Amino acid sequence: MENKKELKNWLDNFQLKHPLVIAGPCSAETEAQVLNIAHQLKHTDATILRAGIWKPRTRPGNFEGVGALGLKWLQKAKAETGMLTATEVANANHVSLALEHDVDVLWIGARTTVSPFVVQEIANALKGTNKIVLVKNPVNPDLSLWLGAVERLHTANIKNIGVIHRGFSTYEKTYYRNNPEWQLPIELQNRFPDLPLILDPSHIAGRRDIISELCQTGLDLNYDGLMIETHMDPENAWSDAEQQITPDTLIKIMASLQVRNETG
């Protein structure tokens, strides 16, 4: 990839703070839930509201998201709070619907990054867009798949690309839900030094109590941002209940973090 330098400019172009904080529920559940959390997040460091509306669940029988209906809720949340909005897209149809509803940030999830044909279809549907497009690492610790997805977006002339580190699945469950394997994103950054790197401590942790320490590690490693799952009533969330935190906890965590001065 040439012109690596241009990649990081979008953080400035969108006037996003350092570190960039993306927060919101794992899943959009109801209109009231989305609007409520958006209004609460206005009082935090978060500038981008995340909410999954198409949820790729590993096994059937779980809540798979409210679908396109949730796009209207995100639009309303943006109109009422001024926050930018972010959602996961897992196919070209999701991309068209998200673009029609003016979602600002589209992210490719870990279960999609593993699939080059799907990533290519998403890249084609996004061709030339000025929206921010973030690529989560693949579920497995394969740097080439992650790089390949970034390259497909770059080749489709998508300018505002970033990556999200959400950890890597392992057969044996350990301290983490998904092992961080910190060396992989570092290697990705070595290849593309100007690609903004965002940490998703929520999916690495799989639990609330270590979100804070993971955020600090990310900032110590000079990550550009954090994506943190946040819910008004985490214990009763419709997905990823164990790892979500309240907006109040988000405020406390952000206040406790040591942020490096340089903007990367």
63-71, 108-116, 118-126, 250-258 -> range binding ligand PEP (CB under 6 A): 108-116
Closer residue to ligand PEP, CB minimum distance, 65 or 159: 65
Among 88, 89, 85, 8, residue whose Cα is nearest residue 48: 85
Q: How far is the CB of 13 from ligand PEP (least distance, A)?
A: 24
Nearest residue to 208 via CA among 252, 162, 258, 260: 252
Residues in 2-61 at the binding interface with ligand PEP, rule: CB under 6 A:
26, 52
* 94 near ligand PEP, judged by CB under 6 A: no
**Nearest residue to ligand PEP, scored by beta-carbon proximity:** 109
Question: Which residue, 224 or 240, is less far from Mn ion as judged by CB?
Answer: 240
How would you class 60 by CB atoms within 10 Å of its CB: exposed for 0-12, middle for 13-18, buried for 19 or more? exposed
Burial code of 26-54, b = ≥16 C-beta within 10 A, e = fewer?
A: bbbbeeebbbbbbebbbebbbbbbbbbbb
| Both structure tokens of 171 | 């057969």
Q: Which two tokens stand for residue 109?
A: 């999830």
Question: Residue 199 interacts with ligand PEP (CB under 6 A)?
Answer: no
User: Which option in ligand PEP, Mn ion, none does residue 208 bind, with CB closer than 5 to 8 A by kind?
Assistant: none
In angstroms, give the least distance from the CB of 261 to ligand PEP: 29
Q: Smallest distance, Å, CB 137 to ligand PEP?
A: 8
Residue 18's binding partner among Mn ion, ligand PEP, none (Cβ under 5 to 8 angstroms by kind) is none
CA distance 261 to 133: 26
Q: Which is nearer to Mn ion, 29 or 240 (CB)?
A: 240
- The least distance separating ligand PEP from the CB of residue 111, rounded to whole angstroms, comes to 6
| Residue 154 binds to ligand PEP (criterion: CB under 6 A) | no
Least distance in angstroms from the C-beta of 237 to Mn ion? 9
Cβ contact 90:115 at 8 Å? no
Residues that bind Mn ion (CB under 5 A): 26, 240
74 touches 105 (CB < 8 A):
no
Write down the least CB distance from residue 68 to ligand PEP, Å.
17
Q: How far is the CB of 73 from ligand PEP (least distance, A)?
A: 16
Instruction: State the binding partner of 110 from ligand PEP, Mn ion, none, CB within 5 to 8 A by kind.
Output: ligand PEP
Q: Find the radius of gyration of the CA atoms of the chain.
A: 17
Out of 78, 136, 165, 208, point to the residue binding ligand PEP (CB under 6 A): 136
Q: Please give the structure tokens belonging to residue 41.
A: 């997040």
Residue entry with tokens 């992210």: 107
Out of 19, 24, 65, 109, point to the residue binding ligand PEP (CB under 6 A).
109
Contact 99, 67 (CB under 8 A): no
Give dist(CA 260, CA 219) in Å, integer.
7
Site of interaction with ligand PEP (CB under 6 A): 26, 52, 109-111, 136, 166, 203
